[in-house]
Amino acid sequence: MSKFIKTMTVAVALAASPALAQEPLNKDARVTESLVAVRVGDTIRNTCPSISAKMFTVLSKWNELKSYLRAKGYTEDEVEAFRKNKVEKARIKGLAADYLKAAGAVEGDVESYCKVGRDEIAKGTLAGSLLRSYK
């Protein structure tokens, strides 16, 4: 095989391969922000009876995030392993709880979660974009 053909074969193979992931998933701000927003929205919808999830929007945002991660070089297996990691789940849950508390949600006060949810929707935040209010 000629040197030219070998070089072209390697170049094509490299072009077809995704870029190597640059940083751990838990250090990527977009990943953290997205997962915290989902957790915030999920907590609100499970606490407030007049707010529900926009499931098509949730799925669309998840697919956008997965596409973003694939473009950064992460594999499907890496993304799923991260999503299911107990330590990372606890970290995201803690960040979401802090966010909700700072926004005015009070444990045991359903209406405070409803207010935070309506505020998130009105502000057009990522969490708010995942929710719909019936009140």
Which pTM value belongs to this model?
A: 0.80
Q: Are strands 51-53 and 131-133 parallel, antiparallel or unpaired?
A: antiparallel
Cα separation, 25 vs 9, whole angstroms: 31
3 state SS of 82: helix
**How many CB atoms within 10 Å of residue 85?**
14
Closest by alpha carbon to 74, among 28, 111, 112, 36? 28
What's the token pair of residue 22? Answer: 């640059």
Cα–Cα–Cα angle for 46, 77, 9, nearest 5°?
145
pLDDT grade, residue 15 (50/70/90)?
Answer: very low
Q: What is the structure's pLDDT at 83?
A: 87
Q: What is the structure's pLDDT at 135?
A: 76
Residue 116 has pLDDT above 90, yes or no: yes
**How many CB atoms within 10 Å of residue 38?**
20
For 21-47, write each residue's pLDDT tens digit. 468 888 999 999 999 999 999 999 999
For 70-101, write each residue's pLDDT tens digit. 999 999 899 889 889 999 999 999 999 999 99
In sequence order, what are the beta bridge partners of 106? 109
